[in-house]
Amino acid sequence: MAYNMKAEKLTTFRKFSSAHSQKKLDEASMMASKKLAKATDAYHDAQLKLQELQKKFIETGKENKAERESLKKAIIDQNKIVKQKESIFQKALGDEDITDLEI
């Protein structure tokens, strides 16, 4: 029975050690965590959509006031979304482990 417990503990330790080593290697190779990557993508997409709305607003003629007003409202709404995505990005960036790694 003692042998089985030792074997199980050794197997568990190896799994933990392997996962820990892989995490360290990922960090060392400058790979961001999934949370940070997801937050970065969402922030980028929100900013891109805002830029597209701003471009449409600029291209719309001044005589087309109704469309400009609807675009202005869409820009304001999208700007709020961008700020939310930025705060999520900043939180994910702050949570990222940035300690020096010894390899």
Give pLDDT, residue 57.
95
pLDDT of the residue at 36? 87
Q: How much is the pLDDT for 21?
A: 63
Mean pLDDT by 10 residues, the chain (103 residues): 60 68 58 83 96 95 93 97 96 76 46
Tell me the CA distances in angstroms from 90 to 2, 58, 67, one per residue in order: 49, 30, 34
Q: What is the pLDDT of residue 78?
A: 97
**What is the structure's pLDDT at 5?**
62
